[in-house]
Amino acid sequence: MEKCGVVGYIRSAVFDGNGEVIRGQEEKIRHYAERYNLDLVKLFVDNGVPGNRTNRWGWDAMMEYLSNESNKAKFLVVCDLCRISRDFYEFNHKVEQLRLKSIRVLSVDGQGEKANVINSELLPDKKQKRLKA
């Protein structure tokens, strides 16, 4: 079975000069992808970007990448949903932008998609189980 493609998004509100916070989020996303046999095709990072800021280079680069027809990702993986935005309306807007590209959100902490299985592309019917970190 071919692995399902995912992209990861990492955001740190305070500039992480030594990379500790960024590396921590990256490790969690990579571990999550391995655990669920997902193909992590690309990671996008916004370092030093508050959760209420709408202009983000990493997020914008990710959205451009996801707009490319050769993109193989079906999901976005984040450590927790507040990495997307801390503003309710902005969060909903960003998730809707993803939905329009047929991209669904998975969260390492389990706040994202909570269907029995996201869809049959992710796990075979025999192995359907709830995704959680």
SS3 4: strand
CATH code of the domain containing 120: 3.40.50.1390
Q: pLDDT tens digits for the chain (133 residues)?
A: 678 999 999 999 999 888 899 999 999 999 999 999 999 999 999 999 998 888 899 999 999 999 987 788 999 999 999 999 989 999 999 999 999 999 999 999 886 554 333 433 444 443 444 444 3
SS3 46: strand
Residue 104 belongs to a domain: yes
pLDDT, position 112 = 58
What's the number of domains the chain is made of?
1
pLDDT, position 113 = 53
SS3 20: helix
pLDDT, position 111 = 66
pLDDT, position 55 = 87
Q: What is the dihedral of CA 7, 26, 3, 91, to 10 degrees?
A: -40
Q: How far is CA 99 from CA 74, 85, 93, 102, 118, in A?
A: 10, 16, 10, 5, 13
Residue 132 belongs to a domain: no
Residue 133 belongs to a domain: no
The boundaries of the domain holding residue 93 are 4-127
